[in-house]
Amino acid sequence: MSRIRSKDTSIEVLLRKALWHAGIRYRKNYAKLPGTPDIAITKHQIAIFCDGEFWHGKDWESKKSRIQNNRDYWVNKIDRNIDRDNEVNRRICGNGWTVMRFWGNEIHDNLNGCVEDVQDVIIQRTIDSYNTSGKDCAQYPCSYMLSYNNGTWGELEHKQCGIVNPPCLEDSFEILCINK
């Protein structure tokens, strides 16, 4: 077990590179949050964990019966890991962050899907932060469009009058329709 890495695992590096390539900036092994997330997108308060299937108990109820060597030790260890993961999720969410957990096989088999999931959460958190910011957009009805082309986000454009980055949005923006 001494050779099991806790940082810079292959699945973590794979996901980090894909996020960076997609233009998503992050902190790695962010110690300011409980559980030290593998990836933290601080701008949007998203904590990402890249979990190995065995160590974090994927399909644990069906797999724990197959453990034969040193059974008591491994069952207790994985159960504690699952409990700790749940506690970490609860504490991070209590701080207003979103927690995302990806299994290693999910990252290997569907890396683009994982990146899209992160992008979707970024968009949703942006919408949520704007909707709760109390800004008055009466003169700009809720119909903005944000374009995504060639791996970069375009400008926000009001669909009715064509105003780009309306002044009522200041530094945040509202997204109701995304052209991908």
* CATH classification at residue 88: 3.40.960.10
Considering the domain architecture, whether residues 139 and 156 belong to the same structural domain is answered as: yes
Q: Which of 81, 99, 125 is the last residue of a domain?
A: 125
pLDDT at 133: 52
Mean pLDDT is highest, among 86-95, 135-144, 154-163, for 86-95
pLDDT bin (cut points 50, 70, 90) of residue 6 is low
pLDDT at 84: 93
Instruction: Classify residue 5: in a domain, yes or no.
Output: no
Considering the domain architecture, whether residues 118 and 54 belong to the same structural domain is answered as: yes
Q: Domain residues for 64?
A: 10-125
What size, in residues, is the chain? Answer: 180
Considering the domain architecture, whether residues 78 and 146 belong to the same structural domain is answered as: no
Q: Which of 103, 125, 147 is the last residue of a domain?
A: 125
Considering the domain architecture, whether residues 109 and 43 belong to the same structural domain is answered as: yes
Q: Which of 107, 127, 125 is nearest to 42 (CA)?
A: 125
What's the rounded mean pLDDT across residues 159-178?
43
Considering the domain architecture, whether residues 113 and 142 belong to the same structural domain is answered as: no
Rounded to 5 degrees, what angle do the CA atoms 124, 126, 132 make?
A: 100
Considering the domain architecture, whether residues 77 and 165 belong to the same structural domain is answered as: no
Beta strands (DSSP E) in 74-176 are 98-103, 144-149, 152-158
How many structural domains is the chain composed of?
2
Tokens in use for 122? Answer: 């970024």
pLDDT at 168 over 50: no
Considering the domain architecture, whether residues 48 and 28 belong to the same structural domain is answered as: yes
**Against a cut of 0.75, is the pTM above it?**
no
pLDDT at 132: 58
What is the 3-class SS of 24-74, one letter each residue?
Answer: CCCEECCCCCCCCCCEEECCCCEEEEEECHHHHCCCHHHHHHHCCCCHHHH
pLDDT mean across residues, the chain = 77
**CA-CA distance, 38 to 111, in Å (whole number)?**
16
Any idea what DSSP says for residue 164? B
